[in-house]
Structure 1
Amino acid sequence: MERRTFLGAGAGATAALALAAPVAANSAPAVPAGAPSGRDTEALLRRWFRDTYRSLDAMYTDFGLTTDKIDVSGDAPVQSPNTSPTNIGCGLWATVAAARLGVVDGDAMRRRLRRTVAAVERLERAHGFWLNWYDAHTGEVLTEWPETGDPVRPFLSSVDNAWLVTGLRIAADADPALRPRVRALLADADWSFYYTPFDADDPVQHPGQLKGGYWTDDDTYTGHWYGALNTEPRMASYLGIADGTVPGEHYWHVFRTLLPGMGQEQEPAGEWAEVDGFRVWRGHYTYRGKKIVPSWGGSMFEALMVPLFVPEGEWSPHSWGVNHRRHVWSQIEHGLREEDYGYWGFSPANVPAGGYSEYGVDAVGMQTEGYTSKGVVTPHASFLAMPFARGHAVANLLRIERDFGAYHDGLGFRDSVDVRDGTVSGAMLALDQGMIAAALAQVLRPGTLQRPFRRGGFARRVRPLLRREDFGIA
């Protein structure tokens, strides 16, 4: 992988600390000095979106699916052979965003969406859900990893299926001709398949939560449930609650923090409360003087991927709305003050030298062996922050682009940078580019990908739950 020339850490950190000074944890921060504004900012964001969409277009196969990633370290992008439900969902919503931002026309959007839906209709499924890995070029279920030949067990992931369903719902909203086909695809996607009903007499084995997934080769579920509320699997929770296959009470059985004494990153403060007849531990952590509901690992996409689609902050301004901004603030504080990197934005991504790893702010994650930053920043984390702190996110990305050469002209930002030695990833991941595309769409045209999640079961069943949420951190 490439190494780039970059500014000395001391100079970068000094400038970055000045940028961080105005950040307010409860409100939109002031635009940092030196960041573009007005028309210049919009032009820049549109260029970033256009190039990011081109990277996703480069991942699109003749079969109609979006590959897991492309290698951009050579003269031309090289597609990976594999894909997942999440990758396919990213391709769908990015295409809709591209049409609504004028990057492609309506006819091109419809052709792409219909081709992808036709490919999804051909994929093998089990129990109404899609398996976790397919050959992106043929649609066959992947049985061994292309790079190593190691076997791949057939698996139904609740969270990965949630992102495909998200993409399908957005596609159906954008192209009415697809609605009956998507409705047929989702008819058997019953989220109760992953749900374990709550039993107050045995909450350990019957926690009222969603399982991580299901192995189809031996018909067994994973040994864990998704027990943390502020993580990306809550999209599956919302989908199940919205369509009525999972009861609304499920929302109150997921942890804001683990209970005191359970062994977690920080002993939480908080109080017990009764909501909808259920006893809920309203726990929170304190990070650098501010109260926050942690994610599982302390990464950006756990906290901020879901609100690209579900308007949590609008429906719960004094809880989710505050907490989203606190997570942005905590990432800036960690990168610029606590670690003095001079840059910020930590989330699971491609390892700059190759492979994949989790990165985050350990102190705002529940997991005792949490995600640490390790000096690796990933641009998608800054884009996720952009709806909440546009000026700071833009300034951070411009420094990453300038200091490390991490921007690939015509394709967008590479996946990650190790700011300690300047190593820049040679890969672009569909998930990360898909989050960038969705975040830019939300900034440039707010709500454009949220339409399917503002009505129907989301309005009737999810919104009332969020309205009653009280994290106790405002």
Structure 2
Amino acid sequence: MIGVAHATEAPDFSGQAYDQHVELFWAEKSDPQASYVIKVSVNEGDWVTRCRTNKTGLLDFVGEFGNDLKLSYRLYSQTKSQENLLGEVSLKTRTFTDDELVEMVQKYTFRYFWQGADEKSGWAFERQPNTGEAVITTGGTGFAILSIITAAERGWISREAAVMRLLKITTSLKRLETFHGMWAHWYRAGTEEVFHFSKYDNGGDIVESAFMAQGLLAARQYFNQSSTDETRLRTDITGLWEKMDWQWYTQGQDILYWHWSKTHGWKMNHKITGYNEALIAYVLAASSPTHAISKAAYHKGWAGQNNGYFKNGKTFYGLKLPLGNQQEMGGPLFFAHYSFLGLDPRGLSDRYANYWTQNQHQTLISHAYSMDNPKNWKGYGPDFWGLTAGDMVPDGYTAHAPGERDFGTINPTGALSSMPYAPTQSLALLKNLYYRHGKELFGPMGFYDAINLSVSDDPRKQVKKTYLAIDQGPIIIMLENYRSGLLWDSFMKDPDVRKGLDKLGFTINNQKNQ
């Protein structure tokens, strides 16, 4: 028989209600032997046990009880002999508008880069939870910078707090080992030593560095006030930007090479040719005020290699695709995201493509492929789509794409980050994942990385409960570009970027939306 005692002093016990879920928070228990019991009363009904846990928080999906609920929660500390009532909180769920749902997803996802950042450097971890040695990621931190801009604009954090975090990041960028001004793909958290991405990849990675620079240059334009801290931030960014030696990474040829190592040199010999996520590397390499590449490197190197991956021109599901892998209907969707987090595709064209058309058609083709569902995966359809790079269910990681690399796993970032290109279809995916799968798929930092309905009938086994920086970031950023164009506008204001685009032969139509 367990007795119930009432606490003389209620600890911190609070909560926030949303549409289909509530989130509860409380302080650490004083008795390490005790566990917590959470009970709920729905619409003033009977109290029922909702959860037993050793954690200090609960994300509770309550859609099973209906909509627009009146909820009361009680928190107990339980030992073998007694339950102690620690506190009570009352909350009300309510039906969200579409815009409220979008912002909710953004704010939850932002936790990955704010509360979940490395304390010493301010950088983003490669993934959470860490499955091995904790590493911080260059590209993911570039995405974090764009996410912090979003948070400052939306008021989730103060402008001052955003600047201080960014100064922590730029300070770390100045002290980390670089390779002709470029950063490595990964560094060890804590020691900040280079951590090899693969056997010979322990040096400069110019694509990851381009993702970092994309964020930095947008921040240089957004944080434009005359305060001491914002002035210092812009100075830091300019110094880092001007040290990036893009010319070194051509080896004197008309093409960029992805990697250079001080121990292995050009061993990887990885030429950056299109079409993939690396367009931004060529744009920034041409934009550099100190170490710019020639326009020939773009036209002969990126676009001029006869490798079967650049020009497409085929029609899939009634939509012509200018660029990308023909066998995979353009490839994984992150091709339409990573380079275009800051680089604005609205009205952007060169001799090879209109990039709004390119990205929108690739997105709609991927959506149509999932509706066609040639492999008969469970769940695929108008509200379950978005093949892109990410974790697999149950195990592994790959760049998912239509065709041979379609294994039934959907990564929420694929469709969510495509919101600017296909808002109706992306919003349908968001609602499906939240309302029908949220209990398992929606966690403390937003949607988990992967879901596959074909692996099991058990919803708990259908989800890979991991978070990846390079999947989290585009969700926040591209949802914001859909809502306001904030990151596109910030990045495209940079005069160096505009000069680089002009140098490569890009034209920009002033009409933003196609």
TM-score bracket, shorter-length normalisation: 0.7 to 0.9
Deviation digits for residues 343-401 of structure 1 (CA, Å, limit 9, x no counterpart): 21011102232332111124xxxxxxxx6121111111112210011121011122123
In the TM superposition, 1:237-386 aligns within 5 A as: 237-243=282-288, 245-254=292-301, 259=306, 264=308, 284-296=313-325, 298-316=331-349, 319-339=354-374, 341-342=380-381, 343-362=384-403, 372-386=405-419
Partner Cα separation in structure 2 for residue 287 and residue 395 of structure 1: 22
- Give the direction of change, closer, same or farther, for the CA distance of 1:403–1:80 in structure 2 (3 Å limit): farther
Match of 1:466 in 2: 506
Separation in 2, partners of 1:211, 1:153:
12
Does structure 1 residue 393 correspond to structure 2 residue 449? no
Number of the residue aligned with 2:184 = 131
Does residue 84 of structure 1 match 2:137? yes
Check 1:212–1:234 CA distance in 2 against 1; reply closer, same or farther (3 A cut): same
* Residue 195 (structure 1) aligned to one of 250, 268, 280: 250
For residues 141-185 of structure 1, give each alpha carbon's deviation from its aligned partner in whole angstroms, at most 9, with x where no partner exists.
226x8xxxx977512212111111122223333233311112222
User: How far apart, in 2, do the equivalents of 1:55 and 1:112 lie?
Assistant: 14
- Would you tell me which structure has more strand in proportion to its own residues? 2
What does residue 166 of structure 2 align with?
A: 113
Measured in 1, the distance between the counterparts of 2:287 and 2:203 equals 24
Match of 2:113 in 1: 56
Matched, 1:66 2:124: yes
Q: Distance in 2 between matches of 1:287 and 1:301?
A: 19
Asked if 1:157 corresponds to 2:205, the answer is yes
| Cα offset, 1:285, TM superposition | 2.5
1:329 and 1:462 mapped to 2: Cα distance?
Answer: 27
Contact in 2 for aligned 1:257/1:283 (Cα 8 Å): no
CA distance in 1, matches of 2:204, 2:407: 31
Q: After TM superposition, list the pairs within 5 Å mapping 1:404-423 onto structure 2.
A: 404-405=437-438, 406-421=440-455, 423=462
2:203/2:260 contact within 8 Å kept: yes
Aligned to 2:261: 215
| Partner residue, 1:18 | none
Query: Structure 1 counterpart of 2:125, which letter?
Result: T
**Counterpart Cα distance in 2 of 1:196 and 1:242:** 18
Cα separation, 1, equivalents of 2:449 and 2:414: 10
What is the aligned-residue RMSD (CA, Å)?
Answer: 2.9
Counterparts of 1:468 and 1:105 in 2: how far apart (Å)?
33
Larger Rg over CA atoms = 2
* Letter in structure 2 aligned against 1:116: I
Is the alpha carbon distance of 1:257 and 1:335 closer, same or farther for their aligned partners in structure 2, counting shifts above 3 Å? farther
Q: Which runs of 5+ in 2 are unaligned?
A: 1-94, 224-229, 457-461
Q: Which amino acid counterpart does residue 299 of structure 2 have in structure 1?
A: W
Classify 1:447/1:85 alpha carbon distance in 2 versus 1 (closer, same or farther; 3 Å): same
What amino acid maps onto 1:225 in structure 2? K
- CA distance in 1: counterparts of 2:235 and 2:177, whole angstroms: 20
8 Å contact kept, 2:203–2:261? yes
| Bigger fraction of residues in helix | 1
Match of 1:441 in 2: 480
Alignment partner, residue 237 of structure 2:
182
Cα offsets for 1:399-444 (capped at 9, x unmatched):
1233433542441111111132252111100111111111122122
* Higher relative contact order, chain-length normalized (CA < 8 Å, sep 6+): 1
Cα 1:151/1:253, change in 2 over 3 Å: closer
Matched position secondary structure for 1:60: coil
Distance 2:388 2:183 in 1: 25
- Structure 1 vs Structure 2: percent identity of aligned residues? 19
Q: In structure 2, what is the equivalent of residue 17 of structure 1?
A: none
1:310 Cα deviation (Å)? 0.9
Deviation at 1:257, TM superposition (A): 8.8
Is contact 1:52-1:433 (8 Å) kept?
yes
**Contact 1:49/1:440 (CA < 8 Å) preserved in 2?**
yes
Q: Which amino acid in structure 1 is aligned with residue 117 of structure 2?
A: Y
Q: Deviations over 1:244-295 (max 9, x none)?
A: 5111233322566964xx6x48xxxxxxxxxxxxxxx965223234321343
- Partners of 1:282 and 1:156 lie apart in 2 by 28
Listed one character per residue, the Cα deviations across residues 65-114 of structure 1 (whole Å, up to 9, x for unaligned) are: 2111112xxxxx99961022112212222111111111111121112111
Contact 1:101–1:441, Cα closer than 8 Å, also in 2: no
What amino acid is the match of 2:113? L
Distance 2:363 2:299 in 1: 25
Q: For residue 402 of structure 1, what is the amino acid of its counterpart?
A: Y
Query: TM-score normalized by structure 2?
Result: 0.69
Gaps of 5+ in 1: 1-37, 72-76, 198-205, 266-280, 363-370
Corresponding pairs, count: 387
Change (3 A) 1:131 1:327: same
Contact 1:142–1:152 (CA<8 Å) still a contact in 2? no
Relative to the length of structure 1, the TM-score reads 0.74
